[in-house]
Structure 1
Amino acid sequence: MQFRGVRGAITIKEDTETEVLQATDRLFREMIEANEIEPEQVASVFISVTDDVTNAFPARAMRAIDGWSYVPVMCMKEMSVPNALQKCIRVMMHVNTRKGQREIQHIYLEKAVSLRPDLVKKTNHD
């Protein structure tokens, strides 16, 4: 087993509790499915948000997923950089896995695809 970082990010249109939680839930579920992650494999999760995301703790979405309530998670503010992507939720999941670095699927959704277009996987819908 190796210790790997699994990245993900998503943007929201409006800073509402419902949208923050729904977007974070979608992001987590896609990260989990794409990388076949079980909660027991996860050492910790860091979630950062931009200054304009203030109406909910995104960690609540992860804790609501069956089996994930004991995974350590921490929310924090993203650096405020001029012209940076706004209304963005970023995730760094620290996972024990047999996958190599190049096998990890990092998930970027909505406008967050602009953060790492080189890592965005093409789908049949693209």
Structure 2
Amino acid sequence: MVFFKYFSVSGQANKEKLDDGLQSTAAEKKRLISVLIQVDGYANNKIVGYHETTKVFEIPDSLIDTPANTGSTNQQYSFNRLNEIPVGIDMPVGTTFKVGIVCGATAKNITGAYMYEVIE
């Protein structure tokens, strides 16, 4: 069975902010399949994912989907951007995977969900 866990990160100018993460426990050992994500706008920020201290991905925000309008007659930006970042990791018990945003001068926010399975 596939499960989803919501996350939200409020960015801060010139800082890296991470969510609380998805933790693998003895009761629920997890396989992280992917991360579903949206940014609330583009500002040349970076979207990052860490398994403990190992950086698994670092992606420019311009590659991620946004619900923001283009400003031209309220048309949406193209949805031909990433909505899902494949991860595919069996997380050892006690480890955590975290997603965050590294903002420059302009803070933006991210929301999304971890897509995972409980494994034995």
Q: Which bin holds the TM-score, normalised by the shorter protein?
A: 0.3 to 0.5
Which one has more relative contact order, counting CA pairs under 8 Å at least 6 apart?
2
More strand by share: 2
More helix by share: 1
TM-score by length of 2: 0.47
- Higher-Rg member (1/2): 2
TM-score by length of 1: 0.45
